[in-house]
Amino acid sequence: MLDALGVAGWTAGRRIATGDWTRQLTAAGFELNDTAIGVWAEFGELTIDSSPTRVPGSSLHIDPVDACVDAAAEASRLRHRYAENYSPLGMWSVQYRSYIATSGRVIAVGPGVLWTLGSTFAEALTYVVDGDAGADRTERAPWLSGRRTGT
């Protein structure tokens, strides 16, 4: 794990400014949580890639504006569904928006599907880098599209 973080450019005590992200996302209609802002400050702008032995490969690019600035309605549906504030995190495996909850739970969203990457940010990083053989982390989530589904 530390090797993957080092390759991505992370160092202990790393901090970046997050004010621009906060302003842009708040203006776009997001209700941000402190957990997300703390993760952005330490890991923002990094792309953490999986180990060479992880099949399939995986990555997590932490840039909440690039990934999610147009997805405030999706975050609102997540908050309604799970009774917890989900703030943008970035992109998982190049194509799926990822969010982090106030509790630290990290999820990724695709068309009608939600993946739990981890119950904490550290667990999500472990999953991204090393995988998790045999675990079912997917949930059918047609309600994310905003259509009525009876759920």
CA pair distance 123, 103, nearest whole angstrom: 13
Residue spans per domain, the chain: 2-145
**Pick from 100, 6, 89: nearest CA to 51:** 6
Reading the chain (151 residues) residue by residue, the pLDDT tens digits are 789 999 999 999 999 999 999 999 999 999 999 999 999 999 999 999 999 988 889 999 999 999 999 999 999 999 999 999 999 999 999 999 999 999 999 999 998 889 999 999 999 999 999 987 555 677 766 666 654 444 3
**Pick from 56, 39, 27, 149: nearest CA to 101:** 39
Residue found under tokens 């009774």: 83
CA pair distance 151, 143, nearest whole angstrom: 7
